[in-house]
Amino acid sequence: MTGPAGPSFPSVGFAILGCGLMGARHGEVLRHLDGAVLRCAYDTDVERLAAFAGRFGCRAAGTAEDAVGDPSVGAVLVAAPSFLHGPMALLAAREKKHVLIEKPIATDSASGQEVIDRCAGAGVLASVVAQKRFDAGARQIKAAIEEGLLGRIFLAEVSINYYRDENYFKEAPWRASRAESGGGVLMNQGIHYADLLLWFLGPAAEVRGALSTVRPGYQEEDVAAALVEFESGAIATLTATTMAYPGFPESITLYGSEGSCTLVEGRGLLRWDQRQGAPPPELPPEPALPEALPAKLHSMFRNHRDFLAALREGRDPLVTPQEALAVVSLMERLYASARTA
């Protein structure tokens, strides 16, 4: 756990709900984040909860209500399975605790809107984890668009070609259930890049989707394709699968009237071509990242640091709940298009 944040900005106590893969990553980030203290955690798996509490030196709460109601907790981080995101965020709002929610904000837009309304009514900050936005390359692209370096963006391509074996679904069966996760590869993996598309290109106007299932016995789609037309006039394609052996890095490419660029997971801004030879935008300096924190958690660390700064400064976080809701709405429209085709 971190030390005090100083007299002007006291540390914020956190409770983590859900101690699986993502909960552990969030715990690791909070452990390195100045001004954040992990006070307690909750998980339905008692053994996993005990191991988590021992690893991070926090209290193992008996129930979610116990964790959220802890008087030393000022903010709740929801890292449970997707179908619990909405209910747990509502619990945080009822206890007047700020809340940071793993994506998606909820598995349907009506529940997501309820989260927004309840948090606003309670006067608490709500945000959603969208760590892809905090990747250095993604921030450079966002700056390039705002500065007009790429001109008018007319086309975007997203490729998400993962491979997930049977153990991935056995370890967390909810991932294979529409009722518990909101869908298959489109909702679970595609949502990250759907968020980037909306962040880069603005609101979606028309959408068309196609879904397919390859894995024997799998309930949801493990292959998805989307065509999105934006209000700006840009067109985007998104393909996603968890069946592309042996798995490939995801990528997003933007084509504009003044240039094009490609961002590849783990490799950064791999390609940048600007008509006038201008380089990619330089990012403003930021505080040093913790040396002990694995590089794969750097973007998540920036995401959490922004949430904490928003609390201190009384401002909106970079990822607003309304933006997170727009992503869920886009997913719903794509599913509706595919299932009625």
pLDDT in tens, 60-112: 999 999 999 999 999 999 999 999 999 999 999 999 999 999 999 999 999 99
Q: Does the pLDDT at position 3 exceed 70?
A: no
Asked if 18 contacts 84 with a C-beta cutoff of 8 angstroms, the reply is yes
Task: Kindly state the average pLDDT of the residues 19-47.
Answer: 97
Give me the chain's average pLDDT, please.
95
Strands (E), 213-293: 223-230, 235-241, 251-256, 259-264, 268-274
Residue with the two structure tokens 């590089």: 295
Q: pLDDT tens across 211-256, in order?
A: 999 999 888 999 999 999 999 999 999 999 999 999 999 999 999 9
- H-state helical runs in 165-293: 166-171, 178-181, 185, 191-201
Give pTM, 2 decimals.
Answer: 0.94
SS3 275: coil
CA distance 336 to 330: 10
What's the pLDDT at 8? Answer: 58
305, HSE (Cβ side, Cα atoms, 13 Å): 16
Q: Where are the beta strands (DSSP E) in 33-74?
A: 36-42, 59-60
> Could you tell me the residue ranges of all domains in the chain?
12-131+305-313, 132-272+320-340
Give residue-wise pLDDT tens across range 106-148.
Answer: 999 999 999 999 999 999 999 999 999 999 999 999 999 999 9
Residue 332 CA to residue 1 CA, distance in Å, equals 39
Class of domain 132-272+320-340: alpha beta
Q: What is the DSSP letter of 17?
A: E
More confident residue, 4 or 158: 158
Tell the CATH topology of 12-131+305-313.
Rossmann fold (3.40.50)
The mean pLDDT value for 9-14 works out to: 90
